Structure 1
Amino acid sequence: MLTQDQISTIKATIPVLEEHGVTVTTHFYKTLFEDYPQLLNLFNHVNQDTGAQPKALAYSLYQAAVHIDRLEAILPVVHQIAHKHRSIGVKEEHYPIVGEYLLKAMQEKLDLSADDPIIEAWGATYEIVADVFIQVEKEMYEEAPWEGFKNMRVDKKVRESDEITSFYFVPEDGSKLPGFKSGQYISVEASIPGEKYKHIRQYSLSDAPGMPHYRISVKREESPQGIVSNYLHNQVEVGDVIPMSAPAGDFTITETDKPLVLLSGGVGLTPLLSMYKRAREVQPDRPITFIQAVRNENVHGMKEEIQQLQQDDHIKHIVSYEKPEDINAGDLHGLLTKETLAAFLPDEGEYYLCGPEAFMRAMYNELQELGIPADNISYEFFGPTMTLAES
């Protein structure tokens, strides 16, 4: 347990973290990877280059400081991050290394000595938080259907749109695939020719549980951010083998009597499509509203697949094209607004959001203005863990 003096010291660093947190975390990652370059086999290089990962870590430190006297408030975020750690292979032995370099970064960028009360307080805080992560992740590793990365063979490759291609995977050893929860993701480990380190990326499972395959539907991104997606699109073919971790993630559908509302932007449809299929299977009478925001018809993935599923009056599928090429295409044109959302939303429901960060922030704010309680809104970022409610 932290002492009251340590708690007060941590709280006093909140303004410092607001101003210098990203500077500290950027320096932390730089020095960590200089001395432990092998960790680049685990971490997303692009998130380092763009600053997304240092920003996310700085935000986590800030949240820990804000909630230092009630750390249970950040447990939901801890579980989200722990799922990603388990998915990429973060282990207990990594935590002392991370703690050492994080405290060194604080010392160097905040001009503090090793025995400064701030460093001592943050050292004690890190030990507590790290122990929580270690225990949570230990349980996740024990519950995972396989350890580490399992070789999976590409059984089918399907072009879904100008940007999205689906990959169907089956175990190379012929074993039966374990189930997963709709909304979960897997990590693929890509050994790309010419690259010194491996690249790990998470992709949502886009088909329903219980199928003889795992399906991911990958959007081709621009380089360098899209180094893995371009590798999958351009170089991976049917019969190739890709290492994959077991399904992970807590962005999962709940089976209640409330109407289900799925709100996707672009390739954010992938976990929501799995949820859509699952809900139709186990709750065939549950009202569903699936609203897709897409740039135009050419990049609209899985359009026919979703349309074929829409066979009941209690299911609504609305497509909004931001800039359609055909003026008659889709149900709505332009960006989704509070007014257009209000025309299709049920009086109450459970809401699931997934898509680009800007899209999710806009939709979250619109739903809040429409009076939707935050507890009824679930979402997932395709990237380092953040929150919509407090950032």
Structure 2
Amino acid sequence: MLSEQSAATVRATLPVVAGAIGEITERFYAGLFAARPELLRDLFNRGNQAAGTQRQALAGSIAAFATYLVDHPDERPDAMLARIAHKHASLGVTAEQYALVHEHLFAAIVEVLGEAVTPEVAAAWDEVYWLMANALVAIEKRLYEERGGGGLREWEVVGRVEETADVATFRLRPADGGPVPDFRAGQYVSVQVELADGARQIRQYSLSAAPGSPLRQFSVKRVHGGAAPDGEVSNHLHARVHVGDRLRLSAPYGDLVLGEGGAGVPLLLASAGIGVTPMVAMLGQLADRGHEGRVLVVHGDRSPAEHALRADHEAYAGKLPDASLHFWYETGADDTEESHRTGLVDLAGIAVPNGTRAYLCGPLPFMRAVRAQLIGKGVAPADIHYEVFGPDLWLAQQG
């Protein structure tokens, strides 16, 4: 992995680079988009750029990768790399773009750190970058090969369901009449729309139906408020996309998927808000497989009326022999419903079986709280898996 000489240099300079990485990534994106404005228009999420979350995620991943190489010189953080690679592949990132990123990233490093970037320091961090970049290129190449190549395919909307006031489900079939590729429950697709200003923005949405469906289905929560372009794609989909319209979708990607085998393994599927979408797909897959083990279904929401796909949640759980529902609502919980509770998700009164595998999706504070509770109940950290919608600001912390 990292050479001994570079490891020593990276170890010595990591505090300085990590301390400046936020400014470095800010200048990196500014330089990249000045040179290649089409990348911001048609590839990068303009909402995340405006909010600064993409810069935070990039800074965290670079610092985490370098730290891992220094602390584990004979290993590499494959879980972190796989998560990034799946997102990149869903966007159609190419190997050639890594050289472009390298050019602007290292220009930003020199601009921010100045004379501290000696030839030795530059060489060491160059080695870190290409170890990470080449690993991602290799994983992404394999992902593209498994799916018959990258790129987006045109699909026709054949159904639209208003799940709640702010969540709509879209059902699509291939516009070319070809087959619908299968996927694994928990995965997502990239959806590209053309906005009023001509930008072709891309967002990822989890598939919200169980594998095996003859259609592709995803559910979108409309984002309200915030400075433009926050929520521009979700609002476009809600306001302008109806039956008969066409969208361009990627193949399915994502590494938050149910483990193979283990029909009797106890599972916990925990979600909050629109994080319900991959969990419902997983629950549907378990029902189709006839999963025999214990399944704890946990969900938190503002109210029952805002709980998207609740009917699917309940129906799929009802098909499993040993499943239980535990719903928390901030307001409007029905005291006559055994599954309803008032407040935020709290696992204190729930027995979690030994050997449970947990899958989490929702806002970061929710997932951090649930993860801590599960570890407190004896669930192994390696058995707790998660999905973040948007830039993964937890990735660097979790490793």
- What's the TM-score bracket when you normalise by the shorter of the two chains? over 0.9
1:171 aligns with 2:174: yes
Deviation at 1:266, TM superposition (A): 0.7
Q: 1:96 to 1:286 in 2, by over 3 A?
A: same
Q: Give the letter aligned to residue 53 of structure 1.
A: Q
Query: 1-side partners of 2:395 and 2:131: how far apart?
Result: 22
Indicate the larger mover: 317-326 or 267-276.
317-326
Question: Deviation at 1:285?
Answer: 2.0
User: Quick one: distance in 2 between partners of 1:115 and 1:170?
Assistant: 55
Unmatched runs of 5 consecutive residues or more in structure 1:
none
**Where does residue 315 of structure 1 map in the other structure?**
323
Residue 109, structure 1, aligned to residue 112, structure 2: yes
Q: Which runs of 5+ in 2 are unaligned?
A: none
Matched, 1:271 2:302: no
The aligned amino acid for 2:324 is: K
Structure 2 contact 192–203 (Cα < 8 Å) conserved: yes
Tell me the residue number matched to 1:291. Answer: 298
Alignment TM-score, normalising by the size of structure 2:
0.92
Distance in 2 (CA, whole Å) between partners of 1:337 and 1:384 is: 26
Q: Residue 45 of structure 1: CA displacement?
A: 1.2
1:350 corresponds to = 357
**CA deviation profile, 1:276-319 (whole Å, cap 9, x unmatched):** 01111113323211111111022111112222231455111121
Q: Which amino acid aligns with 1:63?
A: A
User: What letter matches 2:308 in structure 1?
Assistant: G
RMSD (Å) for aligned C-alpha atoms = 1.9
- Distance, in Å, in 2 between the alignment partners of 1:161 and 1:345 is 31
For residue 80 of structure 1, the aligned residue among 83, 86, 94 is 83
How is 1:311-390 mapped onto 2 (pairs within 5 angstroms)?
311-324=319-332, 331-340=340-349, 343-385=350-392, 386-387=394-395, 390=398
Is 1:56 aligned to residue 61 of structure 2? no
Distance 1:242 1:109, change over 3 A: same
> Greater RCO between the two (CA within 8 Å, min separation 6)?
2
Cα distance in 2 for partners of 1:118, 1:336 equals 47
Which residue does the alignment assign to 1:189? 192
For residues 243 and 55 of structure 1, do their structure 2 counterparts lie closer, same or farther at Cα, with a shift above 3 Å needed? same
Matched, 1:252 2:257: yes
The one-letter amino acid paired with 1:118 is V
Partners of 1:353 and 1:379 within 8 A in 2: yes
CA distance in 2, matches of 1:44, 1:381: 15
User: Which one-letter code corresponds to 1:6 in the other structure?
Assistant: S
Question: What is the TM-score with the length of structure 1 in the denominator?
Answer: 0.94
Establish whether residue 302 from structure 1 lines up as the match of residue 309 from structure 2.
yes
1:28-177 paired onto structure 2 within 5 Å: 28-40=28-40, 41-69=42-70, 70=72, 72-112=75-115, 115-145=118-148, 147-177=150-180
Of 234, 238, 241, 1:236 maps to: 241
What is the rounded CA distance, in whole Å, between the counterparts of 2:52 and 2:348 in structure 1?
Answer: 35
Q: Residue 27 of structure 1 aligns to which amino acid in structure 2?
A: R
The 8 Å contact of residues 11 and 68 in structure 1, kept in 2 or not, is answered as no
Q: CA deviation at 1:25?
A: 0.7
- Within the candidate set 227, 230, 240, 2:232 is matched to 227
2:32 aligns to what SS in structure 1? Answer: helix
User: Which SS does the other structure have where 1:121 is aligned?
Assistant: helix
